[in-house]
Amino acid sequence: MEEAISHYLESIKTLCPDVDDDALLFLAPALTITRLNARHFYSHANARQTHIGFVFSGLLRAYYIDQSGKEITVNFIGENQFATHYTAQISNQPSRYYFQCIEPCVMVNIPYAHVQAAYEAYPSLERYGRLVVEEILKMQQRRIEALLFDSAEKRYTNFVADHNDLFNRVSLSSLATFLGIERPSLSRIRKKLTRP
């Protein structure tokens, strides 16, 4: 079995030790690997996502293009995270987001239909899925609250503190749109915070 798939299956057991080997054996045959270069797309906006992507290595960003043609980053997806638009997938609608590799990526593809079958066959996998969705919901809620209640400077310092592993891997333009800050304002904040 390929290293990326083995790693993904191990990550399931780490998050949800209740998942037994039979459940993993049910899940494993449907998993495939995709290797993508930097700037390539894992999925495009206006397309239905039939797979959930687990990031074994690399970094992606999810973004949309606003009415003025500007790319607005809504998420950075690093190792051991999932690249998918859950709302669109659950409702079988086209995604509004592009998922583009910032770095070369190795993705484990999990067919959504197979995930649903696994949930039916193995309650422990359904529990695992719930735990994953709870983590994603917490991250999204923190992001929404930061955009609503925190200053631009606080959003930036929190990002640096919480995502130190990503900080030097993303462009300032992508980071600015993710934080809801204009690029010149982000540059001023960075300059202010680096002054002795």
Residues 141 and 178 in one domain: no
State which residues form the domain around 102.
Answer: 3-149
Query: What pTM, to 2 d.p., does this model score?
Result: 0.92
Structure letter (DSSP) for residue 195: -
My answer on whether 104 and 163 are in the same domain is no
Same domain, 193 and 169: yes
Shared domain check, 134 and 39: yes
How high is the mean pLDDT in each 10-residue block of the chain (196 residues)?
Answer: 92 95 96 97 95 97 97 96 92 96 98 95 96 93 95 94 88 94 91 79
Residues 137 and 142: their CA atoms lie apart, in Å, by: 9
Do both 159 and 67 map to the same domain? no
SS3 of 106, please? strand
In this structure, the answer to whether residues 92 and 172 fall within a common structural domain is: no
Q: What is the CATH number of the domain that holds 106?
A: 2.60.120.10
CA 25 vs CA 9, 10, 86, 160: distances in Å: 9, 12, 24, 39
Residues 138 and 195 in one domain: no
Residue 1: its pLDDT value, please?
58
Residue 133 sits in the same domain as residue 178:
no
Is residue 144 located within the same domain as residue 58? yes
Task: Give the model confidence (pLDDT) of 60-76 as tens digits.
Answer: 999 999 999 999 999 99
Exposure string over 68-100, b if 16+ CB within 10 A, otherwise e: eeeebbbbbbbeebbbbbbebbeeeeebebbbb
Do 61 and 120 belong to one domain?
Answer: yes
Q: Does residue 33 sit in the same domain as residue 104?
A: yes
